[in-house]
Structure 1
């Protein structure tokens, strides 16, 4: 449509967001984009403005929203401190391949390059972190920039875009035509490549697929399930992509990353053919590029990814296929040539079932037993959100993830992600059960966003796993500097009292048998519910390994 009425730059921008399908944005307000805030005042029926308490929370919520919808999560922050705080979410969106647009209010055009108040060179700052960084100096071109930002964020390997908005540009009044909604360009699968892939599968004896990542959808997982189960092909999920494939499938082999099933690691190492579908095969998934080396001698690699720039960038690839993940998986499921049959898929699933079965560790508060209680009480489509820390290992190992989106966890390993992500999930899916799992250090990085949850009426359950320390760093410390803890001890507040200050229902749990009754009470309520779980630093990882077991002999 063409709009000829004069509008401010802020109004033009808000209208473009509506055209592109934005229904919610996250912000900490700043004087540098007041014209946008003013425009949003008249567009509350189309766009909900979620007011956050720190820009790191803003960008994490936008990143998580993009992960759930497949459309760019939208964040607005001011220059200088606002942008630097928000940079963590841009980094996560980049490494996690999630679509996001960060808008930054900036100094006036006439004041640029004087090191004005809070001025930063955003092109240099965000250049390595984002797919595209640009400044809009002419309000006439706002529709062009917004359409391009959306197209860039969702195309190929999805990721973040940063747009800088001079505050005086947003106040300009002019008439300019709107741009229509953009969609992800179609990227069909090459028939010849599919035939070559099938020939390689037929020649294989012990193949495995590693899946999940860029452009992945629930539809892709369902189609791949049909393809893999027909052949008996084992499916392993990349690091923190466990909702990419039905966990109850007869060929689901579990997840790679930190603390995986040793049997799965051996299966990958001894596979003669690896199909990487959507996964980048990054450092976490491959345990420092060791489970699969970049040259993988003795193994063939078929790499399927939506971004051709990713193919052959790190790993030597025997067959590279650039395609959309849903399109590829749908094509594979419909492939009518004779498919090979493998017996290792069912075997791999049985090994995962054994690995994910509860193992008691003797701790006063056994987190494995807590996960088991949650499996009994929480719906199958519960969305589990976590940041970084060894505490997450219990859920990665013992929790069966439901259909996408049911796992919001940063592959970039950023602390402080879980609570903001859970708030975004609770707002996006108000009828689903949402759980934030956070360590004590992790929680306090963005615990203030409970105020955002309360203000916007979010329903979520928060588990604060409190061992009074930075457990992951302590684990590495014990390996390299045994029995010499330094810089990892924490003196914590009463997290239950902290939660009550935001209107949460809370309970403190110190014994395993206290968890299930408290969880039952929490599940019977709405709003914010916080369970403070006091655990023992001695038990750092799922499976019962004690601190002393990490010390070099």
Structure 2
């Protein structure tokens, strides 16, 4: 006998599927195209965080995906609303973050008639997503949603777009819910473990490189135990400093923009490179110059959650189809037969990292090296740190310590405007944890209005805003390539502290080093969202000002395309 399911609108079926898939929070800007879904949310155990811009909503969902490993969920309306969220899809695609974007669409009968706000989803979003589908039949919502979530989390995670025609959401249907599908983890075979052991035993200058996503606390702990047993130096990919406890004696630092020269040399001279979670890309390798295609180079081990590694210029000697959890479980108890040949080299790598992360003190009235040293000493070990794109991030990347339990939420695709929405999402998800966002004056104003979302939801992130009056990264490159010819990089800023107070947040301006510690104390104790403007003139990067920047400056200090 066929089961009789209760009649539900498409909107109700959709929200019921989100609950079935463990969604507790979604982010969005309301639209008339998905009113039926909004109505179903009224009685659902799912929190909707109402944002002030679809770009901010998308970033919040992406940050949630980074933070939890589960798909972040975002809702937008059609046309302009959907395209405003495109930046978050690009971030999720490049950063391998699970995200599902639901887009309300024109009624099915209006499709193909250039209707108001009509949008071709596949043409618009297909290039930066894993899957784009339109749900034309409400009875198939469970199928579509289960596939979307499985696709977003499986293999190399990424974004999925589901289109929701307005009239489909009001159809009444009788259909069963669909169960979530687990993401396969892969595995490491005994023969592959033997091969990995042999490669390590014959190496003299090995280096482990951790990156990508799908890292769990268990994977972090297992990989750390393995690396420390082998005294194996560990580097992390760009903006992945939370993957490995920075206090470990085998932690050698982060590659990518802002990396140390010593670590770059270490990568270039390695004879074995073990990559877990991600293959080395252009940012990691200084445009592939540290790992060239031809000539001598390291043997490479790839442990990835999906087959293939786009952009890899050297063929791996061993490929493992395994997510970080599966790799970690396989290698945790793998120990060397005796002392390793590179133990002294690992100590040198550690010493070089500690020297690089020691704050650079400037003779400015406001010494940002001292500011971040003070901040680092005050933050609890489970702090969540967020930032966007630009030179302001160099202080947070280089001078803050990411310990076991810390999280770093930052866009690996160099997307400006990310840090504030990410901080709001993190503070909403973890109200008992300290959340700190480091912003630049250019980056902040791209989504600073999401302070309204923080205040509305009782979220209490602390924002440190480095205000130097310029799009700093681009100004740095400008001074290197076109010295003395400033064009298009200057900023005229508001009073950022007053801006924060206008939203109901705490706001202060700091112009000297001595003012910072008391201001930090007040901001941490105030019990609301707080912003401290760090007003500095001419400071582009640690140890570098407009006056000292020139054609001979180190090109790795800034990130191309990350203006502030």
Q: TM-score range by the shorter chain?
A: over 0.9
Q: Which residue of 2 aligns with 1:541?
A: 541
Matches of 1:124 and 1:12, distance apart in 2 = 27
CA displacement, residues 321-346 of structure 1 (integer Å, 9 cap, x when unaligned)? 11011110121112256366131222
Matches of 2:185 and 2:209, distance apart in 1 = 24
Tell me: CA distance 1:5–1:295, structure 2 relative to 1, closer, same or farther (3 Å). farther
2:446 corresponds to 1:449:
no
Cα deviation for residue 296 of structure 1 reads 6.6
Q: Which residue of 2 aligns with 1:52?
A: 51
Q: Which residue of 1 aligns with 2:18?
A: 17
Q: Which residue of 2 aligns with 1:413?
A: 414
Q: Which residue of 2 aligns with 1:73?
A: 72
Matches of 1:402 and 1:82, distance apart in 2 = 38
Q: Structure 2 matches for 1:5-154, cutoff 5 A? A: 5-43=6-44, 46-154=45-153
Matches of 1:522 and 1:63, distance apart in 2 = 27
Q: Which residue of 1 aligns with 2:464?
A: 463
Cα deviation for residue 428 of structure 1 reads 1.0
Contact 1:99 1:153 in 2 (8 A): yes
Cα deviation for residue 218 of structure 1 reads 2.4
Cα deviation for residue 3 of structure 1 reads 7.2
Tell me: CA distance 1:36–1:271, structure 2 relative to 1, closer, same or farther (3 Å). same
What is the TM-score with the length of structure 1 in the denominator?
0.97
Matches of 1:337 and 1:271, distance apart in 2 = 19
Matches of 2:181 and 2:332, distance apart in 1 = 28
Q: Which residue of 1 aligns with 2:352?
A: 351
Matches of 2:291 and 2:546, distance apart in 1 = 28
Matches of 1:40 and 1:189, distance apart in 2 = 43
Matches of 1:85 and 1:520, distance apart in 2 = 37
Tell me, what secondary structure is at the counterpart of 2:532? strand
Q: Which residue of 1 aligns with 2:176?
A: 177
Unpaired segments of 5 or more residues in structure 2?
A: 553-564
Tell me: CA distance 1:492–1:336, structure 2 relative to 1, closer, same or farther (3 Å). closer
Tell me: CA distance 1:469–1:337, structure 2 relative to 1, closer, same or farther (3 Å). closer
Tell me, what secondary structure is at the counterpart of 1:170? helix
Moved more, 178-187 or 81-90: 178-187
Q: Which residue of 1 aligns with 2:162?
A: 163
CA displacement, residues 355-391 of structure 1 (integer Å, 9 cap, x when unaligned)? 1112212122121111111122221221110000101
Moved more, 333-342 or 28-37: 333-342
Tell me, what secondary structure is at the counterpart of 2:127? coil
Cα deviation for residue 294 of structure 1 reads 4.2
RMSD after superposition: 1.5
Matches of 1:208 and 1:466, distance apart in 2 = 37
Matches of 2:165 and 2:141, distance apart in 1 = 12
Matches of 1:66 and 1:450, distance apart in 2 = 20
Q: Which residue of 1 aligns with 2:393?
A: 392
Matches of 2:171 and 2:403, distance apart in 1 = 48
Contact 2:66 2:213 in 1 (8 A): no
Cα deviation for residue 404 of structure 1 reads 4.8
Q: Which residue of 2 aligns with 1:483?
A: 484
Contact 2:100 2:161 in 1 (8 A): yes
Tell me: CA distance 1:482–1:182, structure 2 relative to 1, closer, same or farther (3 Å). same
Q: Which residue of 1 aligns with 2:556?
A: none
Cα deviation for residue 427 of structure 1 reads 0.9
Tell me, what secondary structure is at the counterpart of 1:526? coil
Contact 1:20 1:182 in 2 (8 A): no
Tell me: CA distance 1:404–1:437, structure 2 relative to 1, closer, same or farther (3 Å). same
Tell me: CA distance 1:143–1:3, structure 2 relative to 1, closer, same or farther (3 Å). farther
Contact 1:499 1:506 in 2 (8 A): yes
Matches of 2:54 and 2:295, distance apart in 1 = 42
Q: Which residue of 1 aligns with 2:195?
A: 196
Q: Which residue of 2 aligns with 1:499?
A: 500
Contact 2:508 2:531 in 1 (8 A): yes
Matches of 2:139 and 2:285, distance apart in 1 = 47
Matches of 2:138 and 2:325, distance apart in 1 = 37
**Number of equivalent positions:** 548
2:264 corresponds to 1:234:
no
Q: Which residue of 1 aligns with 2:557?
A: none
Tell me, what secondary structure is at the counterpart of 1:550? coil
Cα deviation for residue 236 of structure 1 reads 0.4
Matches of 1:297 and 1:127, distance apart in 2 = 39
Matches of 2:33 and 2:224, distance apart in 1 = 49
Contact 1:214 1:305 in 2 (8 A): no
Contact 2:419 2:438 in 1 (8 A): yes
CA displacement, residues 96-125 of structure 1 (integer Å, 9 cap, x when unaligned)? 101000000011111111111111111011
